[in-house]
Structure 1
């Protein structure tokens, strides 16, 4: 250890963010070779990470990237062990970088394929190496959950408060600001379908049965029950269907009318909530 200078240890620490003693040990193991020490630290981190893969990762956030002009967007769910880590700047940047690489790169069918691709925020480093470097600093396991890429004009929004949500929408026409507004609406109002036709028929039929029974209990004659039920179903649609919901920024018009006014057609949306295995999509 006597042959390793304080300056060398400091330089390695600045590059890796790891504790001084770990940096010194790595330099000793590699005879003072800084690049070799970085590799040694990563390899050592892989070994430690491998022993912790059974840990639960129930927290996290969504990296969302939407490029309206170039017609591509992506969303990646990055999970971790504790709520505090989700607020770390490096964790946020990693999630965002993953989404950007997924959108702008060749695409990826698996987390492994995505992690093998180059980072856009640290040249010469893959996403996997960036993820491992962060693990070495905070000693928490990170897992990639769901991921999606849309090759079309998109809007997106990541809502990271007490309830973490990520939204990505595919649109036609309009502009990026309108697409983002609709994405924010989805995160807030959580529609279950894009339009009435895409609602689960069983759900609609169940609601119809409930409304019909309620009308009968009110003593309404059979000849007007059907009209009453159809009228009340519109309220149900306004709660469940994106294009029928009152727009959060102007509840005097529906989301569908707002989009139409802006010359935009919403073709598809994906809404994920952290910790929910299934996605809302319309």
Structure 2
């Protein structure tokens, strides 16, 4: 096995970010050829990843791409094995690169399709290459979960303490701050639908029938039962519907009223809890 200089090993370690002895052994095995050594490390990393592929990935974060200055937005779920890795600089970069490429590239319907595309932070490699290189450095399995792209101006918010949640909202007008405020509200209050019209019709009918039965059981006159039911349905909508909910930062306003005051129309939203389908 060839001997290599300490300087060569140090330079190779800076390039790969891998442990010193791994770099030294690879260079020696490759006869000092850095490119060959790099490929040897990649192959060993791939073999190790294949052996660990079934490990549980219960932690992670959401990569996000959004803003008033952008014509599209995206959110991507990136999962890992342990909590400390979720704040690793390379892990955060990978998550955000995934989201940026999804929003600005040709699009993707599966994680595999997205991983085959170039990385925004280093177009010389694919996102899959970037993911594999990060595995070699950290030695944890990473899995790309859900992904969504919105071809419209977007805002959003990510909550990383306790329950990890990500919110991406499609908006017209307003500001990044207003969009973030509404996204934070969604993360906290978990509405079921954007508007009354988007609620599940069967669930609405079931709730109306429950309220009607209860009103009749209370002995209310038939003539006013329907009016009572509709009055109580407003409370139901205020609980379930985003635009009808009391805004968490100013309870005297609904979310719809807050958005209107900010010159913003909320067109839709995606709210994910990490690991939940």
Distance 1:261 1:209 in 2: 35
What's the counterpart of residue 270 of structure 2?
270
Q: TM-score, normalised by structure 2?
A: 0.93
Q: Which runs of 4+ in 1 moved over 4 A?
A: none
| Unaligned runs of at least 5 residues, structure 1 | 278-282
Q: Are 1:13 and 2:44 counterparts?
A: no
Cα distance between partner residues in 2 of 1:62 and 1:180: 15
Q: State how far apart, in whole Å, the 2-side matches of 1:155 and 1:115 are.
A: 24
Q: Aligned runs of 1:85-100 on 2, under 5 Å? A: 85-100=85-100
Q: Which moved more, 1:155-164 or 1:111-120?
A: 111-120
User: 1:87 deviation in Å?
Assistant: 2.6
Q: How does 1:126-165 map to 2 (within 5 A)?
A: 126-165=126-165
Kept in 2, the 8 Å contact 1:196–1:241? The answer is yes
Contact 1:118–1:125 (CA<8 Å) still a contact in 2? yes
**What is the RMSD of the two structures over their aligned residues, measured on CA atoms?**
1.7
> Structure 1's 31 and 123: CA in aligned 2 closer, same or farther, altered over 3 A?
farther
Aligned length: 277
Say which is worse superposed, 114-123 or 231-240, in terms of deviation. 114-123
8 Å Cα contact 1:247/1:258 also seen in 2? yes
Q: Is the 8 A contact 1:42 1:129 kept in 2?
A: no
The aligned counterpart of 2:253 is: 253
State the secondary structure of the residue aligned to 1:68.
Answer: coil
SS of structure 2 residue aligned to 1:125: strand
Alpha-carbon distance, 1:2 to partner: 5.8
Q: Does 2:206 correspond to 1:206?
A: yes
- Aligned to 2:66, what secondary structure does the other structure show? strand
TM-score by length of 1: 0.92
Map Cα deviations across residues 164-213 of structure 1 (whole Å, 9 max, x no partner). 11111111222332222222211111111010011001211222233233
The CA distance in 2 between the partners of 1:228 and 1:128, in whole Å, is 58
